[in-house]
């Protein structure tokens, strides 16, 4: 599973990518249009608490993959634009970064920041790419010498999609019946991918909480059910460069309870429909990543294939209960441990000990 950072040129994608993954790729203007991939940890205070309780030799957070896809610069040519959109198509979810920060050097080349317009324009680019793929598919179906049996049904759905896209709708907000959607289930739509909008604001906007277009952006987010996140990449960079003790002081001054990067990593994790369960012990306190709706037996397989194969029962208690009880012993006393079978649906925050036999 991978999240694509996308957006217009010079909006702060690589800056955020470096902060998320610990990479050190060049930011600013460069002729290279390279795509970078990297792994980010998903900070989780629950892991920190569990580690303070069990004092393990090792603590392991969940991880997610990011891909930094550069914006298309003027003069890049159609080939580059297509290649970068194809990269976005292979991502499982997208984070669109838009520029709401003032930077003189960028203003000269890219104009003053107009974040709402940028949001709409880039969305239109994605929709346009979807329209082209729909048109191509329609043309193939209509000219096929041996069209598939359901060709006319497919054509009807595709035409509806095309009209909706032309009217400015995105694929994810089109209402389909299950059988309609299954006709085109094999087609990738950029405007269908789960999306978060990150508004990269400057220090001034961060402190005032305002910037041009803010209301429009949030209205758009509410109407399209797209989460909007504000972040100041410049501040994030400063936090990152400070020593731990200065970091806390600096964040207190800014009334930040944690770096925005942490919030972004968690939001992206949720966007992919991922949740964490935990295993605890003296050796390791660890978060394991599963999709929502995963059964206990499958979850066991994440830890070890033997545990899935020889699954007997899962001994489960929930992080929130442990937190409230204060200790494992207290949780046990209060009867908060449960034994669950193979079909139990694991919840985010479950602490699990798998019993197995091979």
Q: Which residue ranges make up the site for Mg ion (CB under 5 A)?
A: 13-14, 70
Nearest-approach distance from CB 122 to ligand GTP, in angstroms: 11
Contact flag: residue 9 with ligand GTP (CB under 6 A)? yes
- Return the number of the residue (10 or 21) whose C-beta is nearest ligand GTP: 10
Q: Which residues contact 129 (CB under 8 A, 6 or more apart)?
A: 85, 190
Contact flag: residue 38 with ligand GTP (CB under 6 A)? no
Give residue for tokens 């909006």.
11
State the Cα angle at 331 between 325 and 334, rounded to 5°.
Answer: 100
Contact flag: residue 28 with ligand GTP (CB under 6 A)? yes
Contact flag: residue 279 with ligand GTP (CB under 6 A)? no
Contact flag: residue 103 with ligand GTP (CB under 6 A)? yes
Q: How far apart are CA 172 and CA 209, in angstroms?
A: 30
Contact flag: residue 230 with ligand GTP (CB under 6 A)? no
Binds 279: which of ligand GTP, Mg ion, none (CB < 5-8 Å by kind): none
- Return the number of the residue (232 or 299) whose C-beta is nearest Mg ion: 232
Query: Among residues 123, 37, 95, which one has the least CA distance to residue 265?
Result: 95
Nearest-approach distance from CB 102 to ligand GTP, in angstroms: 7
- Return the number of the residue (200 or 279) whose C-beta is nearest ligand GTP: 200
Crossing angle, helix 115-143 and helix 151-166, to 10 degrees? 160
As given in the structure block, the two tokens for residue 186 are 């094999």
State the Cα angle at 64 between 59 and 68, rounded to 5°.
Answer: 135
Binds 129: which of Mg ion, ligand GTP, none (CB < 5-8 Å by kind): none
Q: Which residues contact 99 (CB under 8 A, 6 or more apart)?
A: 8, 10, 11, 12, 106, 110, 113, 115, 118, 200
Residue from 11, 96, 205, 262 that binds ligand GTP (CB under 6 A)? Answer: 11
Give residue for tokens 């298309």.
72
Binds 262: which of Mg ion, ligand GTP, none (CB < 5-8 Å by kind): none
* Residues touching ligand GTP, count (CB under 6 A): 18
Q: Which of residues 280-319 bind ligand GTP (CB under 6 A)?
A: none
Contact 23, 67 (CB under 8 A): no
Q: Which of residues 195-224 bind ligand GTP (CB under 6 A)?
A: 200, 202
Contact flag: residue 98 with ligand GTP (CB under 6 A)? no
Nearest-approach distance from CB 10 to ligand GTP, in angstroms: 4
- Return the number of the residue (14 or 276) whose C-beta is nearest ligand GTP: 14
Nearest-approach distance from CB 260 to ligand GTP, in angstroms: 10
**Neighbour count for residue 259 (Cβ, 10 Å):** 18
Nearest-approach distance from CB 234 to ligand GTP, in angstroms: 4
Binds 12: which of ligand GTP, Mg ion, none (CB < 5-8 Å by kind): ligand GTP
For residue 148, report the phi and psi dihedrals to the nearest 5 degrees: -60, 160
Chain mean position to CA 105: 30
Binds 202: which of Mg ion, ligand GTP, none (CB < 5-8 Å by kind): ligand GTP
- Return the number of the residue (14 or 279) whose C-beta is nearest Mg ion: 14
Burial 148-159 (b: 16+ CB within 10 A, else e): eeeeeebbebbe
Q: How far apart are CA 14 and CA 233, in angstroms?
A: 10
Site residues (vs ligand GTP, CB under 6 A):
9-15, 27-28, 70-71, 101, 103, 200, 202, 232-234
């Amino acid at each position: 599973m991978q999240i694509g950072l996308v957006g217009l040129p010079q909006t702060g994608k690589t800056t955020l990518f470096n902060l998320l993954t610990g990479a050190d790729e060049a930011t600013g203007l460069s002729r290279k249009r390279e795509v970078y991939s990297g792994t980010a940890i998903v900070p989780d205070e629950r892991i920190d608490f569990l580690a303070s309780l069990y004092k393990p030799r090792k603590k392991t957070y969940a991880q997610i993959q990011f891909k930094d896809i550069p914006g298309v610069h003027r003069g890049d040519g159609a080939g580059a634009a297509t290649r970068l959109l194809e990269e976005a198509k292979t991502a499982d979810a997208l984070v669109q970064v838009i520029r709401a920060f003032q930077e003189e050097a960028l203003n000269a080349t890219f104009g003053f920041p107009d974040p709402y317009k940028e949001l709409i324009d880039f969305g239109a680019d994605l929709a346009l790419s979807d329209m082209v793929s729909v048109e191509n598919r329609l043309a193939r179906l209509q000219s096929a010498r041996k069209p598939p049996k359901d060709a006319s049904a497919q054509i009807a759905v595709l035409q509806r999609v095309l009209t909706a896209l032309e009217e400015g709708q995105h694929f994810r907000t089109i209402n389909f019946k299950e059988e309609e959607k299954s006709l085109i289930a094999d087609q990738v739509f950029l405007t269908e991918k789960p999306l978060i909008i990150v508004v990269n604001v400057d220090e001034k906007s961060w402190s005032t909480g305002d910037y041009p277009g803010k209301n429009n952006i949030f209205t758009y987010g509410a109407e399209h059910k797209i989460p909007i996140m504000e972040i100041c990449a410049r501040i994030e960079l400063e936090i990152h460069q400070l020593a731990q003790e200065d970091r806390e002081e600096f964040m207190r001054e800014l009334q930040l309870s944690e770096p925005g990067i942490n919030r972004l990593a968690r939001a992206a994790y949720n966007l992919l429909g991922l949740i964490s369960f935990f295993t605890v012990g003296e050796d390791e306190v660890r978060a394991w990543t599963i999709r929502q709706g995963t059964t206990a037996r499958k979850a066991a397989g994440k830890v070890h294939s033997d545990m899935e194969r020889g699954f007997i029962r899962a001994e489960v208690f929930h992080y929130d209960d442990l937190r409230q009880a204060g200790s494992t012993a207290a949780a046990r006393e209060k009867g908060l441990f449960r034994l669950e079978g193979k079909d139990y649906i694991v919840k985010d925050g479950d602490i699990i000990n798998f019993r197995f036999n091979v």
